[in-house]
Structure 1
Amino acid sequence: MKHKKNKKSSKKQVLLTLSTALALTTALPAAAHADERIYSSAAGQQSLPPAEWTPASKAEGPQTSVTSDQGGSETQTESPDKAKISKEKAVSLAKELVSIPDDYTLQSTSFNTETLSAGKRTVWNLYFAKKVKNRNVGSINVSIDATSGELRGYSTYLDDPTRKPVYPPKVDRAAAQQIATEFIGKVSPKYKDELVYNADFGIEFRPPLNGDVRYSLRYDRLVNDVAFKDNFIDIEVDGEGHIMQYSIRWDDTVTFDNEKPGITLEQATAKIREQAALELSYLTNYNIKSPAEPHLTYSMPSFMLSAKDGSVWSPYEQSRKPNTTKPVNESSLGAKPTGGKKLDAEQSAAAVKAAFTLPEGAELTDSGFNEYENEYTGRTVSAWNLNWSIKKDGKQAGSAWASINSQTGQVTNYSYYMDNDYARQSGQKITTITYEAAEKKALEVIKKQLPGYVHELYLQDDSERYATYSKEDVDSIRDYSFSFQRRVNGALVDSDGVYISVNAITGEVRNYNVQLSDFAFPASLPSVISKEKAIDAFMDYYKVELTYVSPALWNGHPIPFEKYNLMVAAGEIAPGAGGEGGTQEKAKLVYRLVERPLDERVFLDAQTGEWRDLNTGDKTELVKPQASDIVGHWAERELGMMVAYKALDLTDGKVNPNAIVTRGEVIKMLVLSMNSGRRPYYEAMNSSADASFKDVGSSNAYFLYVESAVEQNLIDKGDGSFNPEGKVTREEMAELIVRALGYNTLAKREGLFDVKFKDAADIENKGQAAIVAGLKIMSQNAAGNFQPKREVTRAEASAAFFRFLQARADLQEAPLRN
C-alpha cells in the first residue's frame, strides 16, 4: 500500500497580480477587417473559436463530417447528399453573406441536424482558416441553413499581437446597437420586423477600463406584440464597431396560444405578491473576508402565472415535493463529532469498514493525507483519501474510494463501483429493490453515520420522479438517489446537505457524500423582518413581464425540470418539443418574475432588510446612486467612472470632487484601474498578522487593494505604516502612475529626461514628473510649475487615472516574434 502525505497551509487562491511592465501586456484583439460592409473583424488571442467550429481533422484540405444532435444513424432526409443546399452552394453563399479574404481557405465542413419543436433543421458549418508558416493565425466560421440558405451563425478570430487597443472605445453601446440592427437588415432581412431589442441583455452598468470591449446584444422574437425569449438573434460588437459574432436561434415550428391576457400587469403583480413563497436560509459561502459567519437571508424564487386566469403555472412537471417540516428524526440521536482524534491511514480505513460494508475482495491500495485551512471558518481540516481495488477470481472487478476527516473520524465521502453490476440480457429486468426499500436504507445510513444531525436533515421526496418512468425504464433503474437538506431552526443552510445513492439491484450504498459546515449557528432563530417587507424588497429586485413560454414535454407529457435540461443539453429535444410520437403544445402566454439587471450579485439580509453585496457582505443598493454634485464639472466623466466602480464613496449623494483624495482612495482607484475594475483577491485576507502594514489590517476597507499594490510593487512597505487616511501629493501620484506603467526604473536614470519645470528644484523624482507630463497624464500649471507638494483632489485623481488608461493603451507594444 502506498502512502502519500500532502500538507497544504491554505486552500485559498494565491493573488493573481499584474505585471508592473504594463507596456508589454499581451496584445488585445486585433482588427484585420475582412470586409467593412458586413462589419467583419478578427478577434484576439483570448477569443478562441467556438467548439462547434473546431476542425474535425488536421489533414490537409477540407474535411466533411456528418453529425446529429440526437445521436444514432442519419436518415435519408438528414443526409448531406439529400440537402437542398449542397456543400458547394453553402460555401458560395457564405462568401456572399460574409466577405472572406483570399488568404482564408476552407479547412473543414460539418453537416448537422438540429431538433425543432416539430421537425428538424439541417445546417452546414464551414470553417475557414488563415495560416502563416503552418500555424493558424485566424479563422472565420459560417453556419448556413441547408434548406433555406440563410445565415445562421458567424464568428471570427485573429491572432494579431501588433494591434494596439483603443481607449476609450470608439463605439459606445448605443452605437453598437445601431450597427447590429443594420447588420441584421443586411444578412437576415426577413427577421428585421419580427424583433424587439432586449435592453436588459448583456448590459454593463460601468464604463469599460480597457480597449478590449465587447457589446453583447440580443434581439428577441416578437409574437403578437409579445416577446418570445426562447427565440432570438445574438450579436457581439467590439469597441471599434466590428461584428465579432452572430447567431440566430429561431424555430418557425413553434405554435402560440393567441388568446389575449385575461388579467392586466397590475393584477398579475398583485397575484404574484399573494402567491410569493419566501425562504429563510443561512448563507455560508459568500466571499467575504474570513473567518466568515453565517448570514441569515431571505430568498424568493421566481415563478409564473397564466396570463389567462392568473393561476400559478410551470412549464415543467414538479417531480420533487419539498420537505421543510419533517426531519429524519425530531430530536438528535447523539452528539455531533468533535476533533482531536488524529487518525492514521489504517485507523481511517477501519472507520470506513465500520460505516459501510466493503465488497469481498476489496484491498486497500492507496492512501493520501491532505490538510488545509477552511477559507470560510479559518479552521484547519485534515483528511485521509483511501482507495480500494476489488478483485473477483483474481481479476479486477471494481473499485472503492472514501474520504475521512482524521480529526473527527467522520466519513465524508464514500463510493464504490463493480464492473458488471448492470450487465443484463436483452429484456432482462435489472431492478429488484423498490424505491421504498432504498429510501429506508438511506434513512438508516443517516441515523447511523450522522446521529447528531438527524434533527437538522430533511429528506427531499423524489418518488414522483420515478413514477413518471415507463415500465421498461423502471425495470432498468440502476440506482436510487436521495438528497437531504440541512435546516437549523427551520432555516435552510445553503451549502450543506447529504447525498446518498442506493443500488437498485443489491440494496447497497454506492455513493455517500456529506457537506456539513461547522459554523456556530444561533441557538434559536434570530428576529427577522416581516414577510411583507421582504416581499416589498423582492418586488424591487424582480420585474414582472408578459411573455410566451413553451411547455417542457416528452412524448406529449410534461417532464421534470432536471430531466428537461438534461435532454435539451444532450440535443434530444428542443424547447417545447413534443418528443417522438408526441403532441406539440402551444407556447403559453404568462406573466413571470425576472431579475432586474444588476452590476453585482446581492442577497437580502433577513434581519435588517438591507441588500448586501455577495462578494463582500457590504451594504449595497439595487439602484446605484449617482453623484449629484458633478453635473457640468470638468471631470464629470472621470468622477462618474470612479463612483461607478466604488473607488470613491458618496456622502449624502455627493462625491465632493474638490476634496483632497486620501492615500487609501488613490490605491483603490489605481488597483481597480489596472485590474479592469475587478476586486482583487488576496490569500492573506483572513489574518491581520499577514498584513503588510500595521494600520491596514484585514478588516480595513482598503486591505485587499493595499496588499495587491504591494504585490505589484506599486508601493513599498517602508516603516510598516501606510496611513490610509493621509493626503496624496502630486509627486506621489506621479510615482504611483509611473510604477503602474512599468517605467519607474527608467525614470530614475539621471540625465535621461529634460526637465523644464520652473520648480524643478523642488521635485525629488524628476523622471517620474517628466514621464507623466510627457504622456499628458498630469500637467504643469500656466506658470510652468509642476507643483510637486500640492495635494491632489478627487477630481484630479480621477482624471489622472483616466488618462493613465489611455496612455497604457497607446504604449502597449507587440512582442518580438521570429
Structure 2
Amino acid sequence: MTLSNWKGNGKRKAAAAIALAMLTTAWAVPVSADTSAAGGSLPAKVESGEGAANPGTGAASGANVKTAISKSKAESLLRQYVSIPEEYTLQGASSGTSKLADGSRSYWTLNFIKRVNGKQRGSIYASLDANTGQLLNFRVYSDEPSAPPVYPLKVDREDAKALAKTFIGQVAGTYLGELRLNESFGVSLLPPLTGAVIHTLRYERVVNGIFFPANYIQVELDSDGHVQSFEMNWDETIVFPKENDILSDAEAEDAIRKAAAPQLRYIVPYNAGGKLEPALSYALPAFAVDAVTGERSEVFQFYGGLRGGKVSEKPLSDKPLGTKPRAGKQSEDAAREAVEKAFSLPGGAVFQQATYNEYVDETTGKTRSYWDLNWTIEKDGRESGGAWASVDSQSGVIRSFYQYGPNEAGSAASSPSITLESAVKKAEDTVRKQLPWLAHELHVVVPEAEQYKDRKPEEIGNYSISFEHRVHGAVVEYDRVYVSIDARSGNIQSFEASIADYVYPAQKPAVLSADEAIDRWMGFYDTKLQYRMNTQYWWDGEPMPIEKVNVMIAAGEISEDLKQKTTVELVYQLTSKQVHESVYLDAVTGDWRSMETGEKTALELPRATDAEGHWAEQSLQLMVAYKALDLEDGKVRPNEAITRGELIKMLVLASSGGRYVAYEGMSSGNQAKAMFNDVAADSAYFSYVQAAAASNLIDVGDGSFNPDGKVSRDEMAELIVRALGYNSLANNDHLFKVSFKDEADIDNKGQSAIVVGLGIMSLSDGRFQPDKQVTRAEASIAFYRYLQKRAELQENSLRM
C-alpha cells in the first residue's frame, strides 16, 4: 500500500457517495445525476465582452457601471447557483469592471453574512458576470465548523477530483470541454497528519490541445466533501497564435539548456538553529523559451513598482576603498554629525531628539545598538517636513536615512532637473563614501531609461537605485543597499544599507560548473509546452501591474488614457516537479538541501525499503516521510528500539500538522537558551524538545532529557495521554478500572488504562508490559492510532 492510498476502493466509493450527498447541503450547488449536462439553467458561455441590449446601471458601488443584470437579479441568480442558507442575509453589494485582453468585464459582488446573538458567525462571498450571469467567484468563511475533522480523511484527493468536476458541471458546465486538471497543482506529497485538510484542484484551459494556465477554474473542498470556494479566471477576448513549426521536446530541452544561466547565491536556511550561516547555492528560477525560435522568452516584470533594471557587471571599485569600521562606541553627537555630513538636510532643519536602542541580532546572536535621530524642517515659522536616520552606535555606519518635505528647488515650472545618469552617479558616489570597505563587492542596478522618457521631473518624483552585493561573484540575496534621488533637486531622499554581519571565505570555494548545476536543475523541472500571456499596462507614462490597474478602475481613478498591450506566446516553460519541501542546490557538494534546516534531502519523498510488506508499513512510511524516523542505507530498521528524541519529534509534528517547528529563540543560534543540558541548539531534536517542554508535553526535571534513551511502554503511554490533553485526569487513577495481569508493575495506571481503552496500545495475554522497550514499528502504529483517536475525541467548542 502506498502512502497516498489510505483507503481501499470500497471505502473510497462509499466516501465519495457520502461527500456527493454533502454537496447538496449549505454552501454547495445541488448536484444532478446527469453530470454531462451543460450546466442546467446556467447562462450560455460568454462569447464576447459586450453587455446585453438593455443594460441596467449598477449603483451599489456608487459608480455608473452599465450591466444587463440588476442587483436583485444578481442575488436571485446566486441563490439559485449556490444554496445559501436562509439565516444568511445580504450584507453588501457592489458592481465594477475588470480589464480583459480586449475590453472589460462588468461584475456584481455580493456578501452574505450569518449573525448569532449579534455576532458574525459566517459569511459567503460571491461574484458573477453582470452581463451573462456566469458565476465567477464563491467562497465560504465559517466560524462554526459543522463537525470535528475525521482521520483518515473521509474524502481524499481522488474523491475530491470527482466532486470538483461535478460541481463545475453545475455552475460552469459549458466550459468543461476546454478544461484539463493540473495534476500537480495543490498536491502535497506528504500524507496529512490531521483531518482538517483542504483539497485544491485547478482545471486549466486547453486551446488547440495546449495548456493555457492563465485561464482556469479552481475549486477547494474540505475533507468532508464540502465545496469551500470556486474561482473562475477566464478571458474569451484572447487571441491565440497558431504555430506550425514547433520545436520537438528534445529540441526544446537543448534550447533551455543553452538559455539557462544558473547563478551563484548566498542564502540562509530559515530555521537552521545553531548552524545558522550563509550557504552557497546555485539558483535557476523557472523560465521559458519561445516554442518556435528557442530563444529565451522574458515576461514583463515589476520590482518595487518599477521596471527591473540591469545589474552592472563591474563593481563600484576594483578593490576596497577603506577598512570596515571597528566596533566601538559612538556618541550621540558623533552619530548626528555623521548624518549631517553625509546628507544635505534642507534649510530650516532643526534637530529634535536622539534615542538609543539595543537588540539581539537574530542572524548572529550578538547584541547590536543604534541611535535613532530626528529632525523637523521648518518653513515660514511652521513645520513642513522632517528627516530621520538610524546609525550603528558601535561602528558609526549609517543604517538608514529618510527625509520628506518641501522641494527646495522651487515650483514645478522652474525646477531644475537631474538626469537618470546623474542620479545613478550620485547614488554610486554616496555608496562609495558610506560603505567603502564593500565598494569592490557592490554592483549598481541601473533602472531602465524608457520608464522616464518624456517625463517632467515632477512627474518622475524620485529615481530609485539599488545595489547588488556579490561575494566572489555570488549574489548575497539577504543584503540590501538602496538610494533614492529627488529628480527635481538632486538631493538624496532616502538611503538604506542593510548588511548582514557574516564572515565569508577569503577565497572562492570550489563549486560545480554551470553545466553540472543545469543537469541537477533539469531534474527539478519538467518542460511543458503551453500558452503564456504577457500583458503590459501603461498609465500616465508609467508601467502598472494588473492588480493595481483593477483597483484603480474599480475606484474610478483611471481614464481612457490607460494603454494596454496583451500578447499570447507559445513557449516551452520550466515548471517545478512535485516536491515535499522547499529546497536549494548546494553549489559546493551538488546536494539538494532543505530550505528550512539546511540538512541534506532529496527531491523524492523518502521510502524505507525494509518497510515494504511489513505489518506496520503504512505507519512506518508515514514517519519516514516526515523524517521522524531516519533511514540508514534506505532502511528504517522497524525492530530497533525507538528513542526519546524520535518519539517526541513524532508527537510535536502531529501538533504542528507536520510543519517544521522553529522554537522561539532558535534563530539566535548558540545564544538560544536550551532547556535541557543534553540537547544543544545544534541538535536535530532541539526545536522539538524545546517546543515539547514549553507545551508541558515533557517536564524539565533535573535538566536532562536523554534524547538517545530508549522508551518503555509505560513512558509512551504517558506521553500519548499528555499529547491528548488528558494527563491530569489520568493521574486520578482511582477513576479507572485497571484489570491488567501486571497492574502492580505499572507506574502510570490511569494513562495505561486510557491508551488501552482507546485502542492506541494493546495488551499481550492480558499484560501491559510497562517496562518493555518500544520498537520503531510499535511506536509508529501507536502514533497512527493516536492521530485517529485525537480526531474522534475532538469536539466542537461550545458557542453562546
5 Å-filtered alignment, 1:513-528, equals: 513-528=496-511
Q: Does the 8 A contact of 1:385 with 1:404 survive in 2? A: yes
5 Å-filtered alignment, 1:435-514, equals: 435-462=420-447, 465-472=448-455, 476-514=459-497
The more displaced of 761-770 and 442-451 is: 442-451
The more displaced of 656-665 and 218-227 is: 656-665
State the 1:434 CA deviation: 1.2
| CA distance 1:365–1:689, shift in 2 (3 Å) | closer
Q: Does the 8 A contact of 1:466 with 1:474 survive in 2? A: no
| CA distance 1:409–1:750, shift in 2 (3 Å) | same
State the 1:728 CA deviation: 0.8
State the 1:36 CA deviation: 6.2
Work out which of the residue numbers 743, 752, 756 in structure 2 matches 1:769.
752
Q: Does the 8 A contact of 1:365 with 1:387 survive in 2? A: yes
Partners in 1 of 2:392 and 2:597 — Cα distance?
Answer: 30
- 2:321 equivalent in structure 1: 333
Q: Does the 8 A contact of 1:280 with 1:298 survive in 2? A: yes
SS of the residue corresponding to residue 538 of structure 1 reads: helix
State the 1:360 CA deviation: 2.0
State the 1:31 CA deviation: 11
Partners in 2 of 1:278 and 1:429 — Cα distance?
Answer: 48
| CA distance 1:796–1:419, shift in 2 (3 Å) | farther
Partners in 2 of 1:678 and 1:229 — Cα distance?
Answer: 29
State the 1:424 CA deviation: 5.7
- 1:734 equivalent in structure 2: 717
- 2:622 equivalent in structure 1: 641
5 Å-filtered alignment, 1:193-342, equals: 193-284=177-268, 286-290=270-274, 292-316=276-300, 320=308, 322-323=310-311, 325-341=313-329
- 2:41 equivalent in structure 1: none
- 2:595 equivalent in structure 1: 614
Unaligned runs of 5+ in 1: 1-29, 41-63, 68-72
Partners in 2 of 1:634 and 1:557 — Cα distance?
Answer: 69
| CA distance 1:280–1:242, shift in 2 (3 Å) | same
* TM-score normalised according to structure 2 size: 0.88
SS of the residue corresponding to residue 476 of structure 1 reads: helix
5 Å-filtered alignment, 1:646-795, equals: 646-685=627-666, 686-687=669-670, 690-781=673-764, 783-795=765-777
Residue 569 (structure 2) pairs with residue 588 (structure 1): yes
State the 1:453 CA deviation: 1.3
State the 1:314 CA deviation: 1.9
| CA distance 1:486–1:36, shift in 2 (3 Å) | closer
| CA distance 1:134–1:522, shift in 2 (3 Å) | same
State the 1:411 CA deviation: 0.5
- 2:792 equivalent in structure 1: 810
| CA distance 1:225–1:176, shift in 2 (3 Å) | same
Partners in 2 of 1:39 and 1:362 — Cα distance?
Answer: 70
- How many residue pairs align between the two structures? 745
| CA distance 1:431–1:599, shift in 2 (3 Å) | farther
5 Å-filtered alignment, 1:156-195, equals: 156-160=140-144, 163-195=147-179
Letter in 2 for 1:335: T
Q: What value does the CA root-mean-square deviation take over the aligned residues?
A: 2.7
- 1:541 equivalent in structure 2: 524
* TM-score normalised according to structure 1 size: 0.86
SS of the residue corresponding to residue 177 of structure 2 reads: helix
* 1:96-154 alpha-carbon deviations (Å, 9 max, x no partner): 11111222221211112111111111111111122222222122222121111111111
State the 1:689 CA deviation: 7.5
State the 1:320 CA deviation: 4.7
Q: Does the 8 A contact of 1:287 with 1:615 survive in 2? A: yes
- 1:406 equivalent in structure 2: 393
- 1:122 equivalent in structure 2: 106
Partners in 2 of 1:289 and 1:227 — Cα distance?
Answer: 43
SS of the residue corresponding to residue 205 of structure 1 reads: coil
Unaligned runs of 5+ in 2: 1-21, 33-57
Partners in 2 of 1:106 and 1:702 — Cα distance?
Answer: 51
- 1:382 equivalent in structure 2: 369
SS of the residue corresponding to residue 471 of structure 1 reads: coil
- 1:391 equivalent in structure 2: 378
Partners in 2 of 1:526 and 1:286 — Cα distance?
Answer: 23
Work out which of the residue numbers 339, 344, 356 in structure 2 matches 1:352.
339
SS of the residue corresponding to residue 113 of structure 1 reads: strand
Partners in 2 of 1:150 and 1:582 — Cα distance?
Answer: 28
SS of the residue corresponding to residue 510 of structure 1 reads: strand
Higher RCO (Cα < 8 Å, 6 or more apart): 1
| CA distance 1:322–1:616, shift in 2 (3 Å) | same
| CA distance 1:422–1:733, shift in 2 (3 Å) | farther
SS of the residue corresponding to residue 675 of structure 2 reads: coil
| CA distance 1:601–1:98, shift in 2 (3 Å) | same
Partners in 2 of 1:209 and 1:430 — Cα distance?
Answer: 64
Q: Does the 8 A contact of 1:214 with 1:237 survive in 2? A: yes
Q: Does the 8 A contact of 1:648 with 1:665 survive in 2? A: yes
Letter in 2 for 1:397: S
Partners in 2 of 1:373 and 1:581 — Cα distance?
Answer: 48
Letter in 2 for 1:381: R
Partners in 2 of 1:368 and 1:492 — Cα distance?
Answer: 34
State the 1:333 CA deviation: 1.3
The more displaced of 508-517 and 549-558 is: 549-558
Q: Does the 8 A contact of 2:616 with 2:777 survive in 1? A: yes
State the 1:571 CA deviation: 5.7
State the 1:598 CA deviation: 1.9
Partners in 1 of 2:541 and 2:157 — Cα distance?
Answer: 40
Partners in 2 of 1:387 and 1:751 — Cα distance?
Answer: 68
Residue 17 (structure 2) pairs with residue 34 (structure 1): no
Residue 76 (structure 2) pairs with residue 92 (structure 1): yes
SS of the residue corresponding to residue 734 of structure 2 reads: coil
* 1:603-639 alpha-carbon deviations (Å, 9 max, x no partner): 1111111111111110011112322222333322222
Q: Does the 8 A contact of 2:409 with 2:416 survive in 1? A: no
| CA distance 1:689–1:379, shift in 2 (3 Å) | closer
SS of the residue corresponding to residue 718 of structure 1 reads: coil
Partners in 2 of 1:792 and 1:155 — Cα distance?
Answer: 46
